[in-house]
Amino acid sequence: MGSKVRESRLKAAVKKMMPFGMQKFIYKNIVRKARNLKLKSQKKIIKESIKKELIKIGLKKGDAVIVHSSLSRIGFIEDGADSLIDAFLEVVGEDGLLVMPAFSALNYDESKKIYIFDVKNTPAYAGAVPETFRKRKWVFRSISPTHSLIAYGKKAKWFTEGQEKCDNPYGKEGPFYKLLELDAKIFLIGVDQLANSSIHIVEDKYKDFPIKVWTEKSKVLVIYPDGSRKIIYARWHIPNLYKKRDNNMLEKPFLEEKLMRIYPFFNTEVRVIRVKDVADCMERLAKKKITIYNPEAYKST
């Protein structure tokens, strides 16, 4: 089945040849306008229909779920991101936990020579849905200048605690391990493994992970929502490492081992897989020295 969420090779090649400024100009003035005109001409999707689809796909009351999304790929939703968020919250109910990425760009204060992470105000770059979710009341955010997660539910406070104490953003005391503990499901809506943050859990969990992926620790000033401040020390991924990465090499093992299912979801598709299955499958691969950083090793098996 051809992927409905992957950029075509031609589009990727054209983009590669264009300077970033030109890409931005074309997106803002042509692509975005055309896309939004097309979206608005479509029949509106309502929250109740989204809930029905989520239940059909297997989302249940009490589930813990991490959602990565492209809003525009779904189709024109009445009340946009809020409807999607509410649909998830209403299906998982009060005992469930809704999690999203609130990953952010590093913010370095040149005058103070320190990185700054402002829990309330540092924006996330993971799309309109997490940004809307992040600003809601009672949504908790974990402490990482790069890999923060946001969560809502009875367990949200506990879930988001501890990342600042970890050796790296995927460490044992942080929220990514709690996704394992809660046997959380991953919903990739209109996106593929490029958006699947849980694929990095193995980089902490498998102690003999064959590639060095983390930077040295840097000093970060955290500004908490109540205005208090604290210094932490954090690592993040080595810059430029992403150029070697091919996250989508994982689609094959995930599908072949029947760990992931792809369902139609309005105008797009949704990939559903358990966090535990992602971590276990990637650990099995890493033991054979196959990682997303050397995808050619998988191709040759």
Ligand X SMILES: CC(C)(COP(=O)(O)OP(=O)(O)OC[C@H]1O[C@@H](n2cnc3c(N)ncnc32)[C@H](O)[C@@H]1OP(=O)(O)O)[C@@H](O)C(=O)NCCC(=O)NCCS
Q: Rule CB under 6 A: which residues touch ligand X?
A: 32, 35-36, 39, 68-74, 76-77, 80, 101, 103, 126-129, 191, 195, 197
Closest to ligand X by CB, 77 or 282: 77
Least spacing, CB of residue 190 vs ligand X, in Å: 7
- The residue among 20, 83, 15 whose CA lies nearest residue 46 is 83
- Residue 32 C-beta: closest distance to ligand X, Å: 5
Q: Which is nearer to ligand X, 75 or 153 (CB)?
A: 75
Q: Name the residue nearer to ligand X (CB basis): 41 or 111.
A: 41
Give Dmax over CA atoms of the chain in angstroms: 53
Two structure tokens written together for 81: 């991101």
Nearest to 74 by CA among 29, 31, 98, 42: 42
User: Encoding tokens for residue 14?
Assistant: 């054209």
Closest residue to ligand X, judged by C-beta, is 127
For the bound state, the minimum distance from the C-beta of residue 171 to ligand X, rounded and expressed in Å, comes to 17
Q: C-beta of 87: minimal distance to ligand X in Å?
A: 13
Residue among 59 and 129 whose Cβ is closer to ligand X: 129
Nearer to ligand X, 178 or 271 (CB): 271
Closest-CA residue to 230 (of 165, 284, 294, 178): 165
Least distance in angstroms from the C-beta of 112 to ligand X: 26
CB 106 within 8 A of CB 236: yes
Question: Alpha-carbon dihedral of residues 58, 59, 63, 67, nearest 10 degrees?
Answer: 120
As measured in angstroms, the least distance from the Cβ of 147 to ligand X is: 8
- How many whole angstroms separate alpha carbon 99 and alpha carbon 18? 35
Report the C-alpha gap between 282 and 185 in whole angstroms: 16
240 or 301, CB closer to ligand X?
Answer: 240
Instruction: Give the closest residue to 199 by CA, choosing from 273, 279, 144.
Output: 279
